Structure 1
Amino acid sequence: MHIFKGRCLCGMSQFSVSLTNFDVYACHCTLCQKWSGGIAMYLEAQGHPLVEDDSIAPSHFSSSPRGERWFCPGCGCPLWFELTSASRYFIPWTLLEMSEDERRRLVLAAEIYTETQPAFWGLTGQYARFSGAEIEAQDKSCLLTP
């Protein structure tokens, strides 16, 4: 298990998360597109992110019946997405303080909600691709990749 510190753009919201792997999930759902300004790329945390003692408490809102989005109240930076039914937490990998060696270990594990992926946005490589219906069916059993 690896523990990483993360922070928003302005530095007011700081947290730490535990990761067991470096699998990145690229989400193309329309909510994540609005949330991230494009494609959202997440790492799954093991357990709830821990807000640092000297940090401002993050704000959140329910973006759908399936999840809540947490963000910095200072700069509005997205901090994490919580899949509420399964208590799963997805962190934008770009917020985490990682060494160059750790960044090289990141691997694209899956693209999800591929039916709403813009035609001009194409990722390459060998990894799983799931529609929204497929990933939501897998979420019920807390699986993300086969």
Structure 2
Amino acid sequence: MLKKEVYPMFETILLQKRGDGVTTITFNRPEKRNAMNPQMHREMVEALRMLKYDEETKILVLTGAKDSFCAGQDLKEYFYKKLYEEKDPFAHARDRELSHTWRFRELRYFPKVTIARVNGDCFGGAFTIVTSCDLAIAADEAKIGLSELNFGHFAGGMVTK
């Protein structure tokens, strides 16, 4: 039987080590279909930087809680909340930098094998998580879409780089 360790230090992700070299990060906002928010971006930067130097972790698996992998950005929190409710004009720039840091630097250049286990919906910015991993495995029922087109944005963001 594998020893499992769960690290409760995060709010929006679950970090679990199985004891056989495999560590899993589960996006854990099922009520929002695991959409990314600023808190998740901060936690992913912290988790990836911690695991990069963790000698027990040989393989990192990313997946989503319940029926969704990740629904992309939580647009209300990412754009509206900081600017209109908190009145912080620089919040979006900070949040965007964190979002890019973990997906396009920390994950893309992670020194260990990374696997995206796409267990359900994968939309918008979540696609960049998949393409930053070394390997992706999708469930038969998984749906992948680049919803940025609906908002007049370039689909896939930095995926084409």
Shorter-chain TM-score bucket reads: under 0.3
Which structure has the higher relative contact order (CA within 8 Å, separation 6+)?
1
**Higher strand content, 1 or 2:** 1
TM-score (norm 1): 0.27
Query: Which has the greater radius of gyration?
Result: 2
**Higher helix content, 1 or 2:** 2
TM-score (norm 2): 0.26
